[in-house]
């Protein structure tokens, strides 16, 4: 663990939660920011307190250097959580954020803190499943092409040269972080995991999703949605309903088994 950091730089409370609200730490995809989770936070408040993670190198942190090593990023986010009030949290991560959720869960246990109530791993294969991906080594046009393929960014952003100049360094750093990531064999979580995938997602297959079972001693269930990598946007209502059960998340409803 590193020296504790200013948690307010990393963790954003987008809406007020009730004093007894369960805390849900939301970790964005590569190139993503805390504001991606604004609609979810609004829908879940005040029963669930969303803590949306803001990575450096974007939005109000655009002057800070982006972090291009996923283990370093997990260290820093965990330090921010440790600096918060004690108590259990749930973790929701999409794409790169799903692997960060796994690594943060391991670090919380290593710090003697409670295991996550549950990890929601969305749009990402298990930490031990790798593909040869070199998007971070492409030129700018090549990186933008990949973002368009996954439909993760509004076209007006991709068409604005000034915004792109601000956006691309952080995006490239994120791709480098997730593409060079390797998990540390033998490390196991001790919490339930809900894996969420899209039927047409090009970056994760069903078998790669079920391999999450090898990374925890807790139960793992895989929920499948229609759609591609950003299926969670089209299925926002179902995902919100699922996350709203967090105070009683030991028994999740079968909201999405057949989507």
Assess if residue 121 is contained within a domain. yes
Does 257 map to a domain?
no
* pTM (global) more than 0.75: yes
In the prediction, which pLDDT does 218 show? Answer: 96
- Concerning whether 33 is annotated as a catalytic residue, the answer is no
The total of other beta-carbon atoms located within 10 Å of residue 15's CB is 16
Q: Would you say residue 259 lies in a domain?
A: no
Is residue 81 in a domain? Answer: yes
Pairing of strands 48-53, 89-94: unpaired
Report the pLDDT value the prediction gives residue 246, as an integer from 0 to 100. Answer: 85
pLDDT given at position 152: 55
Catalytic residue selected from 95, 205, 249, 251: 95
Residue 222 lies in a domain: yes
Asked if residue 258 is part of any domain, the answer here is no
What pLDDT digit, counting tens, does each position of 123-174 carry?
A: 999 999 877 877 776 777 777 777 776 665 555 555 565 666 677 888 999 9
Give me 125's structure tokens: 């294969």
The whole domain housing 242 covers 7-248
CA-wise closest residue to 193 among 124, 95, 116, 106: 116
Q: Which spans in the chain are helix H?
A: 7-10, 38-44, 70-82, 96-110, 140-150, 155-158, 161-179, 206-210, 231-234, 236-243
Is 2 part of a structural domain of the chain? no
The CATH number of whichever domain residue 84 belongs to comes to: 3.40.50.1820
Determine the pLDDT at residue 254. 52
Judge whether 1 lies within some domain: no
Positions of the chain with pLDDT lower than 50, given as ranges: 1-4, 253, 255-259
pLDDT value of position 257: 45
> Residue 232's pLDDT is what?
92
* Total domains in the fold of the chain: 1
């Amino acid at each position: 663990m590193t020296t504790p950091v200013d948690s307010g730089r990393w963790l954003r409370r987008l809406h007020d939660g009730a004093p007894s609200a369960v805390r849900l730490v939301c970790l964005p995809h590569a190139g993503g920011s805390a504001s991606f989770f604004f609609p979810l936070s609004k829908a879940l408040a005040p029963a669930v307190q969303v803590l949306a993670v803001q990575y450096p190198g974007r939005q109000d942190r655009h002057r800070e250097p982006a972090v291009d090593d996923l283990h370093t990023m997990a260290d820093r986010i965990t330090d921010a959580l440790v600096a918060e009030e004690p108590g259990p949290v749930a973790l929701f991560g999409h794409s790169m954020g799903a692997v960060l959720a796994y690594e943060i869960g391991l670090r919380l246990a290593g710090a003697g803190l409670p295991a996550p109530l549950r990890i929601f791993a969305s749009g990402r294969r298990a930490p031990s499943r790798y593909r040869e991906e070199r998007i971070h080594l492409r030129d700018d046009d090549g990186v933008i092409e990949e973002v368009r393929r996954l439909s993760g960014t509004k076209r007006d952003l991709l068409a604005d040269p000034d915004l792109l100049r601000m956006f691309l360094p952080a995006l490239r750093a994120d791709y480098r972080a997730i593409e060079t990531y390797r998990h540390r064999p033998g490390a196991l979580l001790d919490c339930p995991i809900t894996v969420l995938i899209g039927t047409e997602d090009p970056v994760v297959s069903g078998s790669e999703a079920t391999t999450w079972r090898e990374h925890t001693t807790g139960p793992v269930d895989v929920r499948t949605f229609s759609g591609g990598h950003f299926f969670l946007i089209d299925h926002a209502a179902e995902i919100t309903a699922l996350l709203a059960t967090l105070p009683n998340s030991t028994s999740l409803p079968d909201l999405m088994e057949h989507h």
